[in-house]
Amino acid sequence: MSDFLSQIITKFATETNLIVLMESAEIKIFRKIKRAERGRLFFVDMFAKFGNVKAVNKALERLVRQGKLYRIATGIYVLPAVNEYIGNVFPDIDAIAIAIAKRDKARIIPTGSYALYKLGLTTQVPMNVVYYTDTSPRKIKVGKQTIKFKKASSKNLATVGEISRLAIQALRTIGKGNTTAEEVKQIKQILENENPKHLQHDLLLAPVWIRTLLSTNKTIENE
């Protein structure tokens, strides 16, 4: 057998094996996705046991082309939930960030204009969504928005209240001396829904000027 013919056979066998691997990976991947709750986010490394990186990536590409799966960011996929009135419902930016943090075993806290938005102090959805984190900083493009993970000190990530942490970050964004009486009133009203122990804990971590703004007679008595 000539070297040329041997090379052709070897190449054909390699490509055939890759196609088989891709098809096998595709079936296994889609089976796993179908078993999960719709709307769950999937990362490429979740399918590592179904084939090598190239086979898995090709299989995911094929599923996307077939409309069986959606890619919402590099390496992140979803089979969206379906609403009978509006059709496909995709995870929001917060759900995506939380899923990434869970995968990386990281802590995150919304900050900047996104903290203002989540707290209800603005109705404008930010295009750049920033989270403090204890892992490496990076940016992830999601449609027209960008998730930015920004490295922060352990103190900034030590808050425990879901509402109080947002309040503190929102006030940091507004800045010392820039808050209006209406904003402070609104934040205090929102904080009435926070666990008092969590609020007390988080205020002790906040800058003095924020602690002064948000402290009530009740929290001061507990200090």
SS (H, E, C) 90-125: CCCHHHHHHHHHHHHCCCEEEEHHHHHHHHCCCCCC
- The residue behind tokens 């055939």 is 16
Mean pLDDT on 46-65: 91
Residue type present at position 176? K
What are the domain boundaries of the chain? 11-83, 107-222
Residue 222: what pLDDT?
46
Cα angle value 103/108/114 (rounded, 5°): 125
DSSP code at position 126: P
pLDDT digits (tens, 9 = 90+) for 141-177: 999 999 999 999 998 899 999 999 999 999 999 999 9
Domain 11-83 fold: Arc Repressor Mutant, subunit A (1.10.10)
H runs (alpha helix) in 120-205: 162-174, 181-191, 196-203
Q: What is the pTM of this model?
A: 0.81
**Is the per-residue pLDDT at 5 higher than 50?**
no
Quick one: pLDDT at residue 66?
Answer: 93
Length of the chain: 223
Nearest Cα neighbor of 193 from 163, 159, 167, 223 is 163
